[in-house]
Structures are given as C-alpha cells and as structure tokens.
Structure 1
Amino acid sequence: MTLTGRRPLLLGAAALCMAAAGALFAQYATKGKAAEFVPPAEDICIVAPTRLSVPYPHDPASGLDRLAARPVPADARCPVCGMYPARFPKWAAQIIFSDGSAHFFDSPVDLFAFLDEPARFDAEHTAADAAALYVADHRSGTWVDARKAVFVIGSSVRGPMRGPDLPAFAEPGAAQAFIAEHGGRALAFDEIGHNTAHELRNAAHDGHMH
C-alpha cells in the first residue's frame, strides 16, 4: 500500500488515539475533583480510641468569629462515639476552644461526656480550654449557648444513639411544651453534673451499637 493509501488509515488511527486520550483525561479530571463527603447510610457508634480525635481548626476565610458557632462539617465525627453529627442537626453540639479549634458532637450527652473526661478523647485540650459551648435547639436546629439552654432529661424521645439523651431548647416555654408531650423534666446546664453525665452516657452507649 502506498503512503497516499495509508494516509486515511493513519489519520483514523490518530483520531482514535486522541479520542481515547481525551476520554482518559476526562476520567482523570473527574476523579481528581474533590467530591462532597457523604456519610455512610448506616452510622456506627463506637467509642473513639483514647487521644485519637483532632479538633477542627478555625477557618478565617469562613468569615465567622473565632468563637462563634459554626456549621458542622459533613465529615466531622463525634470524638466520643464516632458518629457523624451533621446527620443530626436538631441534636448536634459543639465545643470551641480558646485556640479557635472545635469538636462536634452528635448529641448533648456526648458533649457532657467530653467535658466530664476530656483527656479520654483529646490529647491537647482540657475542659478549662472550652471558650464556647453550643447545642442545637431541638425545635429549630439553631445554635444556642449551652450554658443558657434548657435541657430535658427523662423524656420518651430517643437520641441519635437510640438511647436516653438531653434535647436542648433556647426557651423554657419550648422545653415545657416538649415535656408535656414526651415527659421528662427540665435541667439547667449547671444541674448536669458528673453522675448525670456518666449515667446518661452509659445508658446511651450500652446496647445501642448501630
């Protein structure tokens, strides 16, 4: 076959190579893009290994004050139980340390468990380093200063770990309306001491692996 006769074949082969290369490049580019993190369909509740959890640093580009409540990252895991707090917007809690870093919790019970034994879950911070504490209002999902919130203990409503928890409310009236429907009693932040935190954590984690 002459060179002239081969030319269409060569051009066709070159076109196929370019198409294949383009397809490979597109596939690579797609894989290289940062995909939005999506938590697994089933949460697994496990106690995090001692001193494993690393808090999220403050991001100045967020425009939020260093100690302001911030959105829960989709990939954040509770340092106490390992669940994804972003999946539970009406139960979530967060602690912001004086250095601006933060831990996120799937429920108030785990926030209090952390404050009760911080060295068990974080090698760098103590309870004294907590500059701000926030819990989600159980009715609206908006952030509330945990020290000013009203918590309900002993209700029939189960928390993210399918056990007893502490739904929080910004207003006493909302807490009382919840109690009228689901039972329980109201507690202020300072009324939730070591014994209460310990009992609730044990009840929430015991037999509620999922």
Structure 2
Amino acid sequence: MINRRRFIALAPAFWVGTSFAQKVPMPGKMDLCPVCGMVVSKYPNWIAVVTWKDGHAHFFDGAKDMFKFLFDLPKYAPGHRSQEIAAIHVTDFYNLERIDGRRALYVIGSDVYGPMGHEFVPLATAEDAADFLKEHKGKKILRFDQVTAKLPFRLDDGKFD
C-alpha cells in the first residue's frame, strides 16, 4: 500500500524535477542566430532552438535557418555532431508554445512571412497544419524528415517544390 503522506510530500519534488528536465531554454536579449546573425529575441513568435546533450543551445529566428544549420553543422557549429543533439524545438504558429521540432508539421509557400521572408511555418497537429494551409494559401505540408538540404534555400528564392 502507498503511504499517502510520503507520496504527497514527494510529488512536488518529482514534478519540479520533471518540468526542469523538459524546460526549453530561451534566448538571451542579445543571442544571435548562427546562420543569419539576427538578434533572435526580437522574433519570439518564430524562435527555434537546438539543445545539445551538454546543455548549451543555439537559437534561431525561424525554422528555415534552423534547417540550414542542421544540414551544415561543420559550417555553423564546427566540432558539433548531430548525435550530440538532445532536442529540437520550434514555435507553434497558433499557440506560440515550443513544440518538438521533429514532430512538428511545417507548411511552406503560404502568405505568412517570417523574419527572413518565406518560412517553414511550424504547427503541432495535422488538423492545424491543414487549416493553416487552407487559410493562408500554403503549398505543402512537410514532416521534419521530408525537409531536404536544398529546400531552405529554395524558400529564399520563393520556390516551394
């Protein structure tokens, strides 16, 4: 039988420990995107984060620059390897919360622009992605693993195929 008093006393510590482990880091006031050099905190609705197993993080002003970074780590993060990535987070367009970037869906070709122009618009659910695609004249919905190394640069050129 569970000792209720002990469970109640330990429960807050468990929750605090759990929430601490899952907390997504936030950029500082002057953190720069390693791809474009923009101050990330100026664009809170678009922030993407790559967190490393050693605890440090790189912040981006949008998913597009995050993808450029991930596809060319030797250029943007010398000495880092993809196996050292602990988590990837993007900002959901509708609720503005950080969501798992590997599970997010991304709409491209819409009439919504990010800080660097055409952008991968992150959404948490298939329903939200379908609604956004329709409401904002998007061209495609992509999963994380469907994004290719060339696609972020094609978005810069306004090409969505």
Question: TM-score with structure 2 length normalisation?
Answer: 0.79
Provide the C-alpha distance between the structure 1 equivalents of 2:157 and 2:54, rounded to a whole number of angstroms.
33
Between the two proteins, what is the percent identity of the paired residues? 34
Provide the C-alpha distance between the structure 2 equivalents of 1:179 and 1:199, rounded to a whole number of angstroms.
19
Query: Which residue number in structure 2 is paired with residue 170 of structure 1?
Result: 124
Query: Which residue number in structure 1 is paired with residue 20 of structure 2?
Result: 64
List runs of 5+ in structure 1 lacking aligned partners: 1-62, 205-210
**Which whole-Å deviations, capped at 9, do the CAs of 1:33-65 have from their partners, x for residues lacking one?**
xxxxxxxxxxxxxxxxxxxxxxxxxxxxxx832
Provide the C-alpha distance between the structure 2 equivalents of 1:68 and 1:97, rounded to a whole number of angstroms.
13
Provide the C-alpha distance between the structure 1 equivalents of 2:83 and 2:25, rounded to a whole number of angstroms.
20
Counterpart pick for 1:111 among 62, 66, 75: 66
Structure 1 residue runs of 4 or more that deviate by more than 3 Å after TM superposition: none
Mark the CA change 1:126 to 1:146 in structure 2 (over 3 Å): closer, same or farther. Answer: same
Query: Which residue number in structure 2 is paired with residue 151 of structure 1?
Result: 106
Query: Which residue number in structure 1 is paired with residue 137 of structure 2?
Result: 183
* Local SS of the residue matching 2:119: coil
**Aligned-residue RMSD, C-alpha:** 1.7
Q: How many Å apart are 1:112 and its aligned residue?
A: 0.3
Provide the C-alpha distance between the structure 2 equivalents of 1:122 and 1:154, rounded to a whole number of angstroms.
28
Provide the C-alpha distance between the structure 2 equivalents of 1:74 and 1:104, rounded to a whole number of angstroms.
11
* Richer in strand (by share): 2
Provide the C-alpha distance between the structure 1 equivalents of 2:130 and 2:79, rounded to a whole number of angstroms.
38
Equivalent pairs, count: 139
* Local SS of the residue matching 1:115: helix
Q: How many Å apart are 1:146 and its aligned residue?
A: 0.4
- Verify the 8 A CA contact 1:74 1:86 in the aligned structure 2: yes
* Local SS of the residue matching 1:71: coil
Q: How many Å apart are 1:122 and its aligned residue?
A: 1.6
Counterpart pick for 2:87 among 110, 132, 140: 132
Question: TM-score with structure 1 length normalisation?
Answer: 0.62
* Local SS of the residue matching 1:141: coil
1:86 matches 2:41: yes
Which amino acid is the alignment partner of residue 143 of structure 1?
A: R
